[in-house]
Structure 1
Amino acid sequence: MNPLSINGVTLVLAIPAAAGALLGLLPGYRLSAQINVLASFGTFVAALSLFIAKPAPGPYILVDDLNIVFIVLNTFVGFTTSVFSASYIGHELESGRLAPAHLRFYHAMYQALLFAMNLALVANNIGLMWVAIEMATLTTVLMVGIYRTRAAIEAAWKYFILGSVGIALALFGTILVYMAARPAVGEGLDGMVWTVLIARVSAFDPALLNVAFVFLLLGYGTKVGLVPLHAWLPDAHAEGPTPISAVLSGLLLNVALYAVLRFKLLLAANPGAIAPGPLMAALGLVSLVFAGFMLYRRRDIKRMFAYSSIEHMGIIVFAFGMGGPLANFAGLLHMTMHSLTKSAIFFTVGHIAQVKGTQKIADIRGLTDSNPALGWSLVLGVLAIAGMPPFGIFMSEFLVVTSTFAREPLLALALVVGLLVAFGALLLRLQGLAFGAPTAGNAPAQASYLPMSGHLALVLMAGIYLPPPLVAWFQHVAGLLG
């Protein structure tokens, strides 16, 4: 085993774990913010080292071509969000929205969240993966309620209750997988190790696997934000700190999606089990259409983009549900573009809310006139997330629609209708936000625009030119997904 690979996967877990423990002991904000950024950058570099060499799979840890996509994306957005968070939370302290006592463990919880998500992505044990996702949920609950307002605490409790229901369903599904594996694998640790399960799954009881996947899809689908299990997501986005909104939309939803994909592969490898694709495609399509119509009724800007996240996770789950090389490639590309674009939008929205002192759409007008940098960044972000060319999401949506038309024209029609509904809602809201008569309130926002502009630049570049190594990598992973 290559020492570099051992250090890489170890550091991906050890850096955020150690940084979280250290940050829990530090009372000062500025030093904590700097350590948070450095630790997040170190974790990202460690993730990149996994390209050079991967460790051999063990009973608890697995690094393969599939989860490297998620790990690198997770650590990159975690790093850029930490840079945004440093200035954003500093402004919240200066404005009095956050008290130092409330913020003592903010950065510690941020690193704990990154650790939990990374652990879920590299776990070879399906029980350990469940524990890691539950840890990420509990950590996020604490961060959503950090403002200590009635609405924030209510949102945190709502997230906790619905998330607990979802994770309980996922636990039951995990137990059923173990029960299905026991006759073929035997009792003990091997019945929970994914590499063992995928090698022996053809001998499992298909009836138990079918029931298990339904519970797993519903359970982890709650974390993905799929309709009708989405109710926690808009409240958590609207009431929590904006950096957590960026992490929720850009990262945590992907981690839950990764868990669903692992079990989809398991089910697809058993010849007697039901095809998992139609269930995923149905939930994804319902989520897309529902969220598209709900975008018209939003009055809070962060809540609106929360429903946009539900829409796009629906597109991604639909693409993976359709399956095949082209649809899987489109799903991977769309997941990457959505994470980069949506986090950039939340960076922008966070700055806007600080400048205007509100998240109400009715009170935010004419940003391109009153705050040109923020206004035009919002315009670019909305055009990107709406799927306008030449941004990367246009390419991924085009591939999803094309692959669906080739196989299921009626589903493609419903998909296009959902996309157009969401497109119209976003452009309708953008018109007033960016180009209406400017509203009063222009407080200074001491913030770094680098993460926001960097993400948008990457999404624009991806829409114009995808490097051949990236295309080949995604094609390879798409082939693994079946």
Structure 2
Amino acid sequence: MTIDALGAILLIPAISAALLAILPGYLLTAKLNVVAALATFLTSLSLFVIEPTSGQYLLLDDLNKVFIVLTTFVGFTTSVFSASYIHHEIETGRLTPAFLRFYHAMYQTLMFAMNLALVANNIGLMWVAVEVATLTTVLMVGIYRTHEALEAAWKYFILGSVGIALALFGTILVYMAARPAVGEGPDGMVWTVLVQHAAAFDPALLNVAFVFLLLGYGTKVGLAPLHAWLPDAHAEGPTPISAVLSGLLLNVALYALLRFKMMLAVNSAAIAPGPLMVTMGLISVIFAALMLYRRRDIKRMFAYSSIEHMGIIVFAFGMGGPLANFAGLLHMTMHSLTKSAIFFAVGHIAQVKGTQKIADIGGLTVTNPVLGWGLMLGVIAIVGLPPLGIFMSEFLVVSSTFSRAPWLTAILVLGIIIALGGLFLRIGAVMFGEPKGKTAPAEASYVPMFTHLALVAMAGIYLPPVLVTGFTNVAKLLG
């Protein structure tokens, strides 16, 4: 039953991608995309009532349950937003019907690749899945076929390939470190086998492997200074893909990194991964916070916000311990929901105003009050103001750090405050300035945006006991 459920999480998007590649007509393909995403999400929920069982290739535990449900839920809500958003893009001529089958087929292929990375028990298979997700998003970033979109896709391809190559080298080194203890063959790539024998691995090889893995998967996470692909990819790709990139794909790479961190923690002679993750996390927070002040494109601005928040999440997991790990999981969940909601709002703005340039957008709360106040709520959430969910997660990160390393707390809080100032400075004129640009109605649905924001608002006030228990168990598992 468990294997069937895990298989369904992979088969539903895989079969849907094949169907979407051959079926004509926008309405049919858009509906099938939504139905497939909903079916995958409902299947992921069934994993909570099924006894988890791992095989040689598929793994189910408390850690990937969190990632799978979050990924499939945001994948579903984004498909709902995408259905009407892409229709508008076709009507305005930005996309042609010839690219329609490609877009929806690639969307489900991306969902398949991300799900495969999350459930893979084989570290080589996990690497392949992340590579497939990378190549798929490269193609989708360049779908508009403009000079800027193709340049962004090319940069993403080059930097993503460098990062994934480093991750491959790190994966090979892990296999080499495991060979004396596990032996040659498939068992040397099975994560559950590796983590059981990791204490006997060569610590020197493990150390070098983790450095390569941190650089490789850190590129996909968007950590500075490995982030250069991310702002361009967000700015030039379709908005639903920006939401998936920021809300989901960055988490998948983070998940891969956490798996290897757990392995190193078993080997007492290996390097402690925490300080490396803390350092890269803080660098990302400070760098991205400062860069917010110079952004002129609204999607690019929120892309740097994603870099900042992934820095906070990596910092929390680097600090480790039950409270910091709990805070990291909560922050990851809140960021995925909030940032995808913000990109939904930005997609509406691009359709309403016909531009992404901040200087050409103004007075949204006057011209489009529902959209304007929706985006404002998203910004209030993402900067960590109470009583919304990100305030709770950032408070827990800061609290857990203050008791162990007060000077790190000062750097972290400084970065958060700088980012808050940068976002409010840039977004103020967009919300409350003199009305500018067109005032066309938004064509895409507001429901996904406000659904995400409602969940984030609720999380700041009340966390369901089942969620707290689940996150607590995962936090203990991460060490």
TM-score range, shorter chain: over 0.9
Within 5 Å, give how 1:133-152 maps onto structure 2.
133-152=130-149
| One-letter amino acid of the counterpart of residue 222, structure 2 | G
The answer as to whether partners of 2:29 and 2:101 remain within 8 angstroms in 1 is no
Which residue matches 1:195? 192
Answering whether residue 350 of structure 2 is matched by residue 375 of structure 1, we say: no
Aligned equivalents of 2:196, 2:51: Cα separation in 1:
20
Deviations 1:123-142 (A, max 9, x none): 00000000000000000000
For residues 421 and 27 of structure 1, the distance between their equivalents in structure 2, rounded to whole angstroms, comes to: 49
Q: 292, 307, 310: which is aligned to 1:310?
A: 307
Match of 1:165 in 2: 162
List per-residue Cα deviations over 1:404-427 (Å, max 9, x = no partner): 110000100000100000000111
1:435-450 alignment runs, 5 A limit: 435-450=432-447
Q: Distance in 1 between matches of 2:156 and 2:97?
A: 24
**1:205 match:** 202
Question: What code does the residue aligned with 2:150 have?
Answer: I
- Does the aligned pair in 2 maintain the 1:91–1:445 contact within 8 Å? no
- What is the CA-CA distance between 1:189 and the residue it aligns to? 0.2
Which of 343, 348, 353 is the equivalent residue of 1:346?
343
Equivalent of residue 30 in structure 1, options 27, 30, 42: 27
- 1:388, distance to aligned residue in structure 2 (A): 0.6
Structure 1: which 5+ residue stretches go unaligned? none
2:396 alignment partner in structure 1: 399
Amino acid paired to 1:62? L
- The residue that corresponds to 1:361 in the other structure is 358
Aligned letter for 1:49? S
Moved over 4 A (4+): none
C-alpha separation in 2, matches of 1:477 and 1:55:
14
Partner of 1:260: 257
2:67, 2:278 → 1: CA distance?
A: 21
Give the 3 Å change call, closer, same or farther, for CA 54–163 of structure 1 in structure 2.
Answer: farther
CA deviations on 1:249-286 (whole Å, 9 max, x unpaired) are 00000000000000000011101101000000000000
**SS of equivalent residue, structure 2 residue 403:** helix
**Is 2:385–2:391's contact at 8 Å kept on the other side of the alignment?**
yes
Give the AA of the match of 1:430: I
Q: Over residues 111-170 of structure 1, what are the superposed CA-to-partner deviations in whole Å (9 max), with x where a residue is unaligned?
A: 000000000000000000000000000000000000000000000000000000000000
- Alignment match, 1:235: 232
Alpha-carbon shift at residue 445 of structure 1 (Å): 2.0
Tell me if the contact between 1:117 and 1:252 (Cα under 8 Å) persists in the aligned partners.
yes
Distance in 2 separating the partners of 1:259 and 1:247:
17
TM-score normalised to structure 1 length: 0.99
1:281 pairs with 2:309: no
Cα distance in 2, alignment partners of residues 188 and 262 from structure 1 = 20
Instruction: Give the Å deviation of 1:469.
Output: 1.3
Q: Answer yes or no: is 1:223 the counterpart of 2:223.
A: no
Q: Residues of 2 paired with 1:458 and 1:303: CA distance?
A: 25
Shift of 1:55: 4.0
Residue number in structure 2 paired with 1:300: 297
The residue aligned with 1:477 is 474
Contact preservation (8 Å) 1:254, 1:335: yes
> Displacement, 1:103?
2.3
Question: Who is 1:387 aligned against?
Answer: 384
What SS does the aligned partner of 1:104 have?
helix
Query: Does the 8 A contact of 1:37 with 1:79 survive in 2?
Result: yes
Displacement after TM superposition at 1:6 (Å): 2.7
Output one character per residue of 1:366-408: Cα deviation in whole Å (capped at 9) or x when no partner. Answer: 0000000110001000000000111000000000011111000
Matched residue type, 1:63: L
The residue type equivalent to 1:245 in the other structure is S
1:215 and 1:463 map into 2 onto residues whose CA distance is 37
TM-fit CA distance, 1:7 = 2.5
1:127 match: 124
C-alpha distance in 1 between matches for 2:353 and 2:144: 18
1:326 aligns with 2:316: no
| Counterpart contact for 1:102–1:147, Cα < 8 Å | no
Give the distance between the partners of 2:406 and 2:363, measured in 1 at CA.
Answer: 41
Q: Deviations over 1:63-109 (max 9, x none)?
A: 00110000000000000000000000000001111111122210000
**Alignment identity in percent?**
76
Distance 2:321 2:41 in 1: 30
Contact 1:54 1:63 in 2 (8 A): no
- Tell me the distance in 2 between the aligned counterparts of 1:154 and 1:440: 27
2:93 corresponds to which of 83, 96, 116: 96
Structure-2 separation of matches of 1:22 and 1:102: 15
2:449 to 426, 440, 452: 452
Q: Tell me the distance in 2 between the aligned counterparts of 1:17 and 1:232.
A: 27
Shift of residue 8 of structure 1?
A: 1.4
Secondary structure of 2:22 counterpart: coil
Counterpart contact for 2:351–2:443, Cα < 8 Å: no
Aligned 8 A contact 2:365 2:371 in 1: yes
8 Å CA contact 2:131, 2:164 repeated in 1: yes
Q: Name which of structure 1's ranges 79-88 and 48-57 shifts more when overlaid on structure 2.
A: 48-57
Using the alignment, how far apart are the partners of 1:117 and 1:304 within structure 2?
A: 25
Query: Which whole-Å deviations, capped at 9, do the CAs of 1:286-332 have from their partners, x for residues lacking one?
Result: 00000000000000000000000000000000000000000000000
Q: 1:421 corresponds to which residue?
A: 418
Does the aligned pair in 2 maintain the 1:54–1:64 contact within 8 Å? no
Supply the RMSD in Å over aligned alpha carbons: 0.6
